[in-house]
Amino acid sequence: MSKSFSFPNVGTCSKQTNIVLNDDHTIESIEVVGGCNGNLKGISRLLKGMKAEDAIARMEGTTCGPRPTSCPDQIAKNLKKALAEM
């Protein structure tokens, strides 16, 4: 069984992260709306099948230029929110 989530992104060019997580916390899919299209599609493909906790550990705290966050950091923050709601 899987569950879908959608969260707004804050402080990035991208606007929203759509997540589908399986019951065992593996990522079924991630879609980031807005932002650097090709890079975010690539990141989404790399994350498919990965445990959400592992993805969070790898991406959390990543910055983009002078910004204190980034699209990968927002994915990590939104994965944490999704896990909290499961």
E strand map for 1-86: 2-8, 14-22, 27-34
For the stretch 24-39, pLDDT in tens is 999 999 999 999 999 9
User: Whole-model pTM above 0.85?
Assistant: yes
Identify the pLDDT of residue 84: 98
Maximum Cα–Cα distance for the chain, whole Å? 40
The candidate with the shortest Cα–Cα distance to 35, out of 10, 67, 13, is 13
Mean pLDDT value of segment 36-60: 97
Mean pLDDT value of segment 54-74: 97
Sequence spans of domains, the chain: 1-83
Q: Which CATH number fits domain 1-83: 3.90.550, 3.30.390, 3.30.470, 1.10.3470?
A: 3.30.390
